[in-house]
Amino acid sequence: MTTMSDFSLKDLDSRKKEIILNSVGIDYDQYEREGIGFSYEEMMEDTGFSFEDVQRIQHESMIGNTPLFELKNITAYARKFAPEGYGARIFIKDEASNLSGSFKARRAAVSVYKAKQLGFKGVIAATSGNYGAAVAALAAKNGLKCIIVQECFDSKNKAQPEIIEKARACEAYGAEVVQLSVGPELFYAFLHLLDVTGYFNASLYSPYGIQGIETLGYEIVTQTYNQTGRYPSAVICTNAGGGNLTGTARGIELRANHRCRNIAASVNLQGLHMASDDDFNRKSFTTGHTGFGMPFAINPDRSDVPRSAARPLKYIDEYYTVNQGSVFFITEALATLEGLERGPAGNTSLAVAFKLAQTMEKDKVIVVQETEYTGAGKHHQPQLSFAKQNGVDIVFGDPQTEIPGKNIVVPNSADDIHIEKISLDKLRKSYLKRYASQSLTEYDYTYLKEEFRMDNVKRIEELFEEVKNERAKR
């Protein structure tokens, strides 16, 4: 097992930019512009792959063109609680049928292909989620070596069953898995391994990773139209680091030339710190939660590349959170009503779709953007059992009384499922806080218009003034 003593943090910090540049093959400096901005679209266009190239790469790897199912029984269930004439049709894109069992295979396919094209002998990814299995599977298919770095233990050497299961999946594909305890060593161990192996950084946040998801957005629009004769009114994406929503939205808007509500959904884990040893095993979701969704929305460049290609605020129209118990409830409803057993993380979006459908007219279409495979550790029953073992109470009641890390409140009825709308302006203000001590130029505001998905520069100026005033009062 790699430990902090195996490498010099000072040395890695001093050479971080060089290591990243050598491992991903992108000179990010060329996209920097005057002030706070950078040329996002230019970075995305310089991957060397056309949209058709990505489709071909994925098709050759048994990825993409996954089925789109109408959840007729779930829709009928939602309509029981909707006003007359309301209850949109709910569809789900079954990404579990991809190689490795999740939408992450789309991202991995392009990254691994690029690694092989550039002559790298292997790939590395730092992830405790489905992406590790995806990278490992694609590396195996392309004859490359693979290392997956996981954060999976607390200080008592207790690991989450879901993460351990994903390690087994990675090893089954021939990857080496480096398992670490919670804390800052993950990033430094990752840098160290990139440095000593010379492998490709298959980052979730590179342009390749985002470009791979564009096909998913395109397929959602085309399949929905082919099946229903109309386009989706809303597409809901489970949101963590933002790449899922970013790539899907780009596929919908740029590739399918369609405009709909891009809705993010995250599990509410407010109060739990993702890097806390005490909190690590008191959460029942390793991804798709606010512990990733919020920090990456307000500072997308906190990732393992200098400029992240995942820009959630650039594409989000609405953002909702839902409690853990409601996601487990809807996961079981999907299995018992539709005969479709899928992992809880993807069903975060389904829980939000279930409530939003009740506010939309019956002829509208709402699409849940992805599902994930389920197995021994990812099934909701072992997740609940693990929560109990870690002192978390499992109760039935009002989901709004759930306190992450203390209890999981499963609703008594589907009518009790509650979703909370997040203020995007509040997130934008948090984004702007790091610039509070400086003045923003006209060019900066032009950049922020795109970054914030806003037409009104005056409103951005007002938000920035609010941030500076709040800072001055402290």
For residue range 302-332, what is the model confidence (pLDDT) as tens digits?
988 999 999 999 999 999 999 999 999 999 9
Neighbours of 340 (CB within 10 A): 18
Tokens 């499922």 label which residue? 417
- In DSSP terms, 235 is beta-bridged to 262, 367
Residue 319: name the closest of 407, 259, 234, 255 by CA: 234
pTM of the complete model beyond 0.85? yes
SS3 state of residue 110: helix
Residue 333: name the closest of 88, 74, 70 by CA: 74
Q: What is the pLDDT of residue 97?
A: 95
- Cβ-count burial 186-198 (b if 16+ within 10 Å, e if not): bbbbbbbbbbebe
Q: What residues in the chain have per-residue pLDDT under 50?
A: 1-4
Q: What is the pLDDT of residue 5?
A: 52
Q: What is the pLDDT of residue 6?
A: 56
Q: What is the pLDDT of residue 4?
A: 47
Cα distance between residue 447 and residue 441, in whole Å: 10
For residue range 4-39, what is the model confidence (pLDDT) as tens digits?
455 677 888 888 889 988 999 899 999 999 999 999
Q: What is the pLDDT of residue 1?
A: 43
